[in-house]
Amino acid sequence: MILLSGGTGTPKLLAGIRKIIPEEEITVIVNTAEDTHVSGNLVCPDIDTVLYLFADSIDTTKWWGIRDDTFASNEALRRVGHQEIMRIGDRDRATHILRSELLREGRTLTEATCELAQRFGISATILPMTDQEVATQIITPDGEMHFQEYWITHGGEPDALSVRIHGIEEAVPSDAVLSAFDNDDSVIIGPSNPITSIGPILRLHGMREILREKQVVAISPIIGSAPVSGPAGKLMRACGYDVSSAGVLECYRDLPDVFVIDREDLDIGTEIDGARIVRADTMMTSVEKSVALSRLVVDLFGT
């Protein structure tokens, strides 16, 4: 089973998927367009969350960082006048240091991620979507800024006029991503931000062509006219999409064979442009709810 993932909604689903599918049979292709350097180390927010989920150390109150982490290094830096864009925990920073060290030794991001996963004792395959650098930039009335600056420094407050993904035109899926698709025909597009998390994955060269040949089940991250969390609504609007499950399906266009929307959502019929619409409780407020949704999603394959 292959999942396309960002760093919150799909990891919540993965918390259930890993309870019903053997971990060795799970491949997660993760967005890297939100990656950024903090104090000299490469932070991959979405990859880190997926790593920590499988390592049973994710902080599920925030869906980023390590549970019960301490912040001594961040506070020490602040005391000497160095304010970090993100409040990086000490153990979390250890991951970033090791990743950056591996990259400095000449490993690719894919190799560094697999090495981290192995050292954390993870048997699922966690793959960055690409080894090339891509960066999501938000265009605001005051200029263009990196997604993390927009979301963390400015709290997602400025108007978003459009979204640009630098480097995406030249970016290709890594070899590891391509061979994962050679061996697996079942793909879940998790309930992640369709613009900043799933969007960059789908825009990689050749990705849509690959997915068109697969059985794809997508889950909507929007319930009614709002996302469960995060800036998806504002950014969908900035890109010209309606903030609704129908708008999400428009982003994915012809890819999903089945599109799962919340049972509380507006009735959008039983089929749109070839995608069968299935209603379910998609609000994952506990592991039990993640497992229930995962079971429903996995059972949709082959139906």
Q: Which positions touch ligand GDP (CB under 6 A)?
A: 6-10, 12, 46, 191-193, 197, 219-221, 227-230, 232, 282-284
Smallest gap from Cβ 192 to ligand GDP, in A, equals: 3
Question: Do residues 41 and 99 lie in contact, with contact meaning Cβ atoms separated by under 8 Å?
Answer: yes
- Of 72 and 266, the one with the shorter C-beta distance to ligand GDP is 266
Please say which residue, 209 or 222, places its beta carbon nearer to ligand GDP. 222
Cβ nearer to ligand GDP, comparing 81 with 240: 240
Q: How many beta carbons lie within 10 A of that of residue 105, not counting itself? A: 9
3-class secondary-structure state, position 140 = strand
Please, which residue, 60 or 118, has the CB nearer to ligand GDP?
Answer: 60
CB of 83 to ligand GDP, least distance (A): 22
Nearer to ligand GDP, 11 or 173 (CB): 11
Q: How far is the CB of 16 from ligand GDP (least distance, A)?
A: 11
Q: How far apart are CA 189 and CA 116, in angstroms?
A: 24
Supply the minimum distance, in Å, between the C-beta of residue 182 and ligand GDP: 25
Please report, in angstroms and rounded to a whole number, the separation of the first and last CA atoms in the chain: 15
CA atoms within 13 A on the CB side of 24: 0
Smallest distance from ligand GDP to CB 244, Å:
12
Q: Which is nearer to ligand GDP, 177 or 236 (CB)?
A: 236
- Give the nearest distance from C-beta 119 to ligand GDP in angstroms: 23
> Rounded CA gap, 19 and 174, in Å?
28
- Which residues on adjacent β-strands are paired with residue 143? 140
Q: Is the dihedral of CA 36, 49, 61, 16 positive or negative?
A: positive
Q: Which are the contacts of 7, defined by CB distance < 8 A and separation ≥ 6?
A: 31, 34, 45, 46, 48, 49, 50, 63, 64, 192, 197
